[in-house]
Amino acid sequence: MIQLELKVRDVYALKESLKVAHEVTYSDLSFFQNESIRYFTKNISSDNCRMQLSPGLKEDLIICLNIFKTSRTWHWLKEDFKNSVEDFLYILNK
């Protein structure tokens, strides 16, 4: 298990943008990727500064968010949500 420390400015924006990203990319992901992302997103709370990520979940999130960034929905997303996604991808790609 990899411990990834998340330091985001707006946890609410991260959670909501991950929900949108998952909805947009649902058909592009496998059943197991969808379930792991859904479970992860569901369990984000406002006091989460540290989260446990498996290597598989980390890769699933990177794939999901990279696909999401190529969608039309990405261009219409609020700027603070985009910033949350960008910050999160930066942390995941370290």
pLDDT > 70? residue 1: no
Whole-model pTM: value is 0.88
Tens digit of pLDDT for each residue in 32-85? 999 999 999 998 887 766 677 888 999 999 999 999 999 999 999 999 899 999
pLDDT given for residue 6 in this prediction:
65
Contacts of 11 (CB under 8 A, 6+ apart): 44, 45, 46, 48
CB atoms closer than 10 angstroms to residue 7: 8
Residues pairing with 5 in the sheet: 50
Percent pLDDT > 90 in the chain is 60
